[in-house]
Structure 1
Amino acid sequence: MRLLYGIAVLVIAAGVTACTTDDDPPATSASSCPGALGAAFDAWGRAGFSGTVAVSTAGRFDCLAGYGSANDATGARNTADTVYAIGSVTKAFTAASVLKLADERKLSLDDRIGTLVPAVTGPVSQATVRQVLLHTSGIRGSIGADRQPLSRDEAIAAINRLELAFPPGTDDAYSNAGYTLLAIVVEAVSGKSYRDYTASTTLGLAGKTLGGFWDGQPAAPGPRALGYLDGGEPGPAGDFAGPYWATDGNGALAMTTRELATWTRALFTGALLSPESTKSVAAPAFDVGDGRAHTLGGMVVFDAAVYGKPFVGMAGGGGDVGHNVVAVWIPEQDRVVAVASNRPVLTAEKLLSATIAALVTGAALPTPSAPAGTADLAKAVGTYRLDSGGTLRVSTPDNRPTITADGADAVAALFPPRGRFSVEGFRAHEDRVRALLAGQTREGREEREALEDEHGKISGVTVAGTIVADGEMRTYVTVTFKTKTVLGWYALDDHGGIQGVELPTPPPALVLVPVGADRYRPDDPTGTGPDVTIGFGTDHLTVTTPAGNLIARRTG
Structure 2
Amino acid sequence: MTGCASAPAPEASPPSKQSSLEAAYGALDRADTSVVVAVSLDGAPPSVREFGALQEDGVPAEKTLVDIGSITKTVTAVAVSKLVDQSVVRLDETLAEIFPGVPEDKSRITVEQLLTHSGGLTGSVGDDFEQIDRDELLRRAFTSPLIELPGTRYAYSNVGYSILAAIIEIRSGRSYEDYLRDEVLAPTGVGGIGYLSEYADERSIRSASGESVLAASWGEHDVSWNLVGNGGLVTTAPTFVRFLQELTSGRLLSASALDRLQQPHIAEDDAGSSFYGYGLVVQDVPDLGRIYWHDGGNDVFSAEWSLYADHGDVIFTAGVDAAPGESAAGAAASVLREHLYGASG
TM-score, structure 1 normalization: 0.54
Conserved in 2, the CA contact under 8 Å of 1:155 and 1:245? yes
Give the equivalent residue in structure 1 for 2:239: 259
Q: Residues 58-69 of structure 1 correspond to what in structure 2 (within 5 A)?
A: 58-61=42-45, 63-69=47-53
Determine whether 1:324 maps to 2:325.
Answer: no
Question: How many angstroms apart in 2 are the aligned matches of 1:39 and 1:308?
Answer: 20
The gaps in structure 1 that reach 5 residues or longer are 1-12, 18-34, 367-527, 529-556
User: Which amino acid counterpart does residue 96 of structure 2 have in structure 1?
Assistant: G
How many residue pairs were aligned? 323
Give the equivalent residue in structure 2 for 1:53: 37
Q: Residues 442-521 of structure 1 correspond to what in structure 2 (within 5 A)?
A: none
User: Which amino acid counterpart does residue 287 of structure 1 have in structure 2?
Assistant: A
User: Which amino acid counterpart does residue 341 of structure 1 have in structure 2?
Assistant: G
Give the equivalent residue in structure 2 for 1:477: none
- The counterpart of 1:224, out of the listed 201, 204, 216, is 204
Give the equivalent residue in structure 2 for 1:15: 16
Question: How many angstroms apart in 1 are the aligned matches of 2:338 and 2:50?
Answer: 23
Determine whether 1:347 maps to 2:325.
Answer: no
Question: How many angstroms apart in 2 are the aligned matches of 1:164 and 1:65?
Answer: 44
Determine whether 1:333 maps to 2:311.
Answer: yes
Q: Residues 195-274 of structure 1 correspond to what in structure 2 (within 5 A)?
A: 195-204=177-186, 206-213=188-195, 216-219=196-199, 223-228=203-208, 233-238=209-214, 240-242=220-222, 244-274=224-254
1:327/1:48 CA distance change after superposition, 3 Å: same
SS of the equivalent of 1:336 reads strand
SS of the equivalent of 1:90 reads helix
- The counterpart of 1:133, out of the listed 89, 109, 115, is 115
**Greater share of helix:** 2
Question: How many angstroms apart in 1 are the aligned matches of 2:118 and 2:101?
Answer: 21
Question: How many angstroms apart in 2 are the aligned matches of 1:171 and 1:200?
Answer: 34
- The counterpart of 2:139, out of the listed 157, 162, 180, is 157
Give the equivalent residue in structure 1 for 2:7: none
**What do the CA deviations read for 1:317-364 (whole angstroms, capped 9, x no partner)?**
134xx21111111111222111111232661102333554553348xx
State the Cα distance separating 1:220 from its structure 2 match.
6.1
1:211/1:42 CA distance change after superposition, 3 Å: same
Structure with bigger RCO (C-alpha 8 Å, 6+ apart): 2
Question: How many angstroms apart in 2 are the aligned matches of 1:286 and 1:294?
Answer: 5
Give the equivalent residue in structure 1 for 2:267: 287
**What do the CA deviations read for 1:405-451 (whole angstroms, capped 9, x no partner)?**
xxxxxxxxxxxxxxxxxxxxxxxxxxxxxxxxxxxxxxxxxxxxxxx
Question: How many angstroms apart in 2 are the aligned matches of 1:123 and 1:71?
Answer: 51
Conserved in 1, the CA contact under 8 Å of 2:305 and 2:317? yes
SS of the equivalent of 2:247 reads helix
Question: How many angstroms apart in 1 are the aligned matches of 2:171 and 2:184?
Answer: 15
Determine whether 1:191 maps to 2:177.
Answer: no
Q: Residues 161-180 of structure 1 correspond to what in structure 2 (within 5 A)?
A: 161-180=143-162
SS of the equivalent of 2:331 reads helix
User: Which amino acid counterpart does residue 304 of structure 1 have in structure 2?
Assistant: V
**What do the CA deviations read for 1:270-318 (whole angstroms, capped 9, x no partner)?**
110010011122221112334311102x11100134x541110010113
The gaps in structure 2 that reach 5 residues or longer are 1-13
Identity %: 28
Q: Residues 283-322 of structure 1 correspond to what in structure 2 (within 5 A)?
A: 283-288=263-268, 289-296=271-278, 298-305=279-286, 308-319=288-299, 322=300
User: Which amino acid counterpart does residue 102 of structure 1 have in structure 2?
Assistant: V
State the Cα distance separating 1:38 from its structure 2 match.
2.0
Q: Which moved more, 1:110-119 or 1:259-268?
A: 110-119
**What do the CA deviations read for 1:25-54 (whole angstroms, capped 9, x no partner)?**
xxxxxxxxxx44224322322212111111
Give the equivalent residue in structure 1 for 2:10: none
State the Cα distance separating 1:149 from its structure 2 match.
0.3
User: Which amino acid counterpart does residue 238 of structure 1 have in structure 2?
Assistant: L
**What do the CA deviations read for 1:362-400 (whole angstroms, capped 9, x no partner)?**
8xxx9xxxxxxxxxxxxxxxxxxxxxxxxxxxxxxxxxx
Question: How many angstroms apart in 1 are the aligned matches of 2:102 and 2:128?
Answer: 21
TM-score, structure 2 normalization: 0.85
- The counterpart of 2:27, out of the listed 43, 46, 54, is 43
Question: How many angstroms apart in 2 are the aligned matches of 1:144 and 1:259?
Answer: 30
SS of the equivalent of 1:64 reads strand
SS of the equivalent of 1:332 reads coil
Give the equivalent residue in structure 1 for 2:8: none
User: Which amino acid counterpart does residue 45 of structure 1 have in structure 2?
Assistant: D
